[in-house]
Amino acid sequence: MTGTVHIAEWKCVRCGRVYRAGAPTDPVCGCGSVIQWRGIAFMDRMVAAIGNTDFSAWPPRPIRQDSPFKYVTRRLAKFVPLARGLNLGFSGLSAGHYHTGAPRSGWVLRSRNGRGCWNDRTKPLRCPYGLPGDRLWVRETWAEIDDSDDMKVRRGFAYRADEPAGAAEMEWRPPRFMPRRASRFALEVVDLRVERLLHITHEEALAEGVTGSHWTVHPTLGPCTDDGELPREEYVRGFREMHRLSSDDNPWLWRVAFKRIEAE
């Protein structure tokens, strides 16, 4: 495979065995478990936010304090109800593993019946971005070039998030067409949850890379935009606009926390 990713350490999500430096790119544990690699697309400003994140501590923090940072992403979780017409917006639903304590079995939404017992209301759904310990390679808007002296150009590829010289003249290609060898960021899934959009907090909105380009510090509200919009409100509004949701939609989401690992 072109584009080697070096893994200093990884832990098997099935048996807990830890492998140190020197593990192959796609290690196989003695129990048969294999680290899975998946592509994940990000917009330009989210790629820049990942690049501005210091992952040397947890939770991560921004390298440049005046710029967004990112170590969490939320994506729509498309659960399929078992019963036709079931309202997945029902407040009594709760998310959990299909088989308790078995993450690889997938997730379902449940609610209590009249006797207080939990009943599955949806079919099991597996996260398309893997489980803790799995790897993600970042897809972004890119261009292939012959040669350049620009320090932001890597391995014959340029990235719109970096705004290299002559960006307007570049023949940019969308993230879905990016080959793995062109990817410059490799991530490890640290935590996976299922939650609803409105469960997000102000701190989590900041971890999502909200821009905050026109923020002020309110004496009681803390960081907010010039018109008083809080980070949480900015994220919820932006998410609904991006997915063309109504102003009162509260969908179920995959909440994926990640850290950056070395790639070259």
Coil, helix or strand at residue 76: strand
pLDDT 10s digits, 52-95: 999 999 999 999 988 899 999 999 999 999 988 888 888 789 99
Coil, helix or strand at residue 44: helix
Query: Does residue 151 come out as left (phi exceeding 0), alpha (psi in the -120 to 50 range) or beta?
Result: alpha
Q: Encoding tokens for residue 125?
A: 């759904």
Does the residue 1 lie in any domain? Answer: yes
Please state, for a pLDDT cut of 70, what percent of the chain lies above it. 74
Does the residue 7 lie in any domain? Answer: yes
Q: State the Cα–Cα distance between residues 96 and 87, nearest whole angstrom.
A: 17
Coil, helix or strand at residue 117: coil
Contact status, residue 129 vs residue 256, Cβ threshold 8 Å: yes
Q: What is the pLDDT of residue 212?
A: 57
Does the residue 166 lie in any domain? Answer: no
pLDDT confidence bin for 30, thresholds 50/70/90: low
Q: What is the pLDDT of residue 167?
A: 64
- Among residues 139, 214, 151, the alpha carbon closest in space to that of 178 is found at 139
pLDDT confidence bin for 137, thresholds 50/70/90: very high
- Among residues 83, 97, 94, the alpha carbon closest in space to that of 125 is found at 97
| 239, amino acid identity | F
- Beta strand segments in 2-141, E: 10-11, 18-19, 37-41, 53-54, 61-62, 72-76, 94-99, 102-112, 118-120, 135-139
Read off φ and ψ for residue 71, nearest 5 degrees.
Answer: -140, 15
Does the residue 71 lie in any domain? Answer: no
Does the residue 66 lie in any domain? Answer: no
What's the structural domain count of the chain? 1
pLDDT 10s digits, 187-212: 999 999 999 999 999 899 999 998 75
Does the residue 18 lie in any domain? Answer: yes
Question: Of 99-103, 128-132, 149-153, 236-240, which range is least confident?
Answer: 149-153
pLDDT confidence bin for 27, thresholds 50/70/90: low
Q: State the Cα–Cα distance between residues 259 and 9, nearest whole angstrom.
A: 13
Q: State the Cα–Cα distance between residues 52 and 8, nearest whole angstrom.
A: 22
Does the residue 148 lie in any domain? Answer: no
- Among residues 146, 149, 86, 148, the alpha carbon closest in space to that of 119 is found at 86
Q: What is the pLDDT of residue 152?
A: 53
User: Between 54 and 154, where is the model more confident?
Assistant: 54
Q: What is the pLDDT of residue 89?
A: 83
Does the residue 26 lie in any domain? Answer: yes
Q: What residue numbers bound the domain in which 11 lies?
A: 1-33
- Among residues 260, 259, 258, 264, the alpha carbon closest in space to that of 184 is found at 264
- DSSP string for residues in 150-216: -TT-BTTEEEGGG--TTGGGS--B-GGG--GGG---EEEEEEEEEEEGGG--HHHHHHTT---TTEE
CB proximity list for 73: less than 8 A, separation 6 or greater? 40, 42, 46, 208, 256, 258
